[in-house]
Amino acid sequence: MNSSDIKKDFPILQNRKESYLDSAATTQKPKQVIDAIDEYYKNFNANPHRGAYSLSIEATQKYEETREKIAKFINAKHTEEIIFSKNATESLNLIAYSYGMENLKVDDEVVLSIMEHHSNLVPWQKVSKVTGCKLNYMYLNDNFEISDEEIEAKITDRTKIVGITHISNVLGTINDVKKIIKYAHKKGAIVVIDATQSIQHMKIDVQDLDADFIVFSGHKILAALGIGVLYGKKEILNKMTPFLMGGDMIEYVYEQNTTYAPLPNKFEAGTQNVEGVISLGAAIDYIETIGYDNIQRIEKEIVDYAMQELSKLDYLTLYVTPNRAHHSSVISFNIKGVHPHDVASILDANGVCVRSGNHCAQPLMRYLGIDSTCRASFYIYNTKEDVDNLVNALNKAYEMFKKYM
Amino acid sequence: MDELSDLYNDLIMEHSMNSCNKKELKCYDCCKMGHNPNCGDEIKLELKMDGDVIEDLAFVGHGCAISQASTSIMIDTLRGKAIYEAKKIIETFIGMIKREITDEAELEKLEDAIAFRNISHMPARVKCALLAWHTIEDMLDERERKVDGE
Ligand SMILES: Cc1ncc(COP(=O)(O)O)c(C=O)c1O
Ligand SMILES: [Zn+2]
Q: What secondary structure does DSSP assign to B26-95, as a single string?
A: SS-SEEEEEEETTTTEEEEEEEEEETTEEEEEEEEEE--HHHHHHHHHHHHHHTT-BHHHHHHHHHHHHH
Name the nearest CA neighbour of A67 among A56, A46, A45, A82: A82
Q: Of all protein residues, whose CA lies closest to atom 9 belonging to ligand 1?
A: A89
pLDDT in tens, B24-78: 999 899 999 999 877 789 999 999 999 999 999 999 999 999 999 999 999 999 9
Name the nearest CA neighbour of A150 among A176, A130, A127, A125: A176
Residue ranges matching CATH 3.90.1150.10 in chain A: 3-28+291-395
Which chain B residues touch A372 with a CB distance below 8 Å? 39-40
**Low-confidence spans in chain A with pLDDT less than 50:** none
What pLDDT score was predicted for residue B18? 86
What pLDDT score was predicted for residue B6? 74
Taking the domain B2-144, which CATH number applies?
3.90.1010.10
Residues with CB under 5 A from ligand 2 (ion): A 341; B 39, 41, 64, 67, 128
- Tell me how far apart the alpha carbons of residues A259 and A247 are, in angstroms, rounded to a whole number: 12
Residue ranges matching CATH 3.40.640.10 in chain A: 33-287
What pLDDT score was predicted for residue A403? 87
Q: Of all protein residues, whose CA lies closest to atom 7 belonging to ligand 1?
A: A88
pLDDT in tens, A103-135: 999 999 999 999 999 999 999 999 999 999 999
Burial category of A15 from C-beta neighbours within 10 Å (exposed 0-12, middle 13-18, buried 19 and up): exposed
Closest ligand to Cα A123: 1
Q: Under a CB-based contact definition with an 8 Å cutoff, are residues A390 and A354 in contact?
A: yes
Does domain A3-28+291-395 match CATH 3.90.1150.10?
Answer: yes
Which comes out higher in pLDDT, residue A81 or B149? A81
- Tell me how far apart the alpha carbons of residues A198 and A68 are, in angstroms, rounded to a whole number: 21
The CATH architecture one would assign to domain A33-287 is 3-Layer(aba) Sandwich (3.40)
CA A196 – ligand 1 centroid, Å? 6
Residues 6+ apart with CB under 8 A from B11: B69, B73, B112, B115
User: Between chain A and chain B, how many beta carbons pairs sit less than 8 Å apart?
Assistant: 55
Q: Indicate the domain borders of chain B.
A: 2-144
What residue in B sits closest to A350 (Cα-Cα)? B1
For residue B149, pLDDT beyond 70 = no
B38–A401: do the CB atoms touch at under 8 Å? no
pLDDT in tens, A243-267: 999 999 999 999 999 999 999 999 9
Interface confidence, given as ipTM, is: 0.89
**Confidence band, pLDDT 50/70/90 cuts, at residue B136:** very high
Q: Which residues pair with A83 in a beta bridge?
A: A230
What pLDDT score was predicted for residue B2? 66
For residue B147, pLDDT beyond 80 = no
B40–A401: do the CB atoms touch at under 8 Å? no
Under DSSP, is residue A158 helix (H, G, I), strand (E, B) or coil?
coil
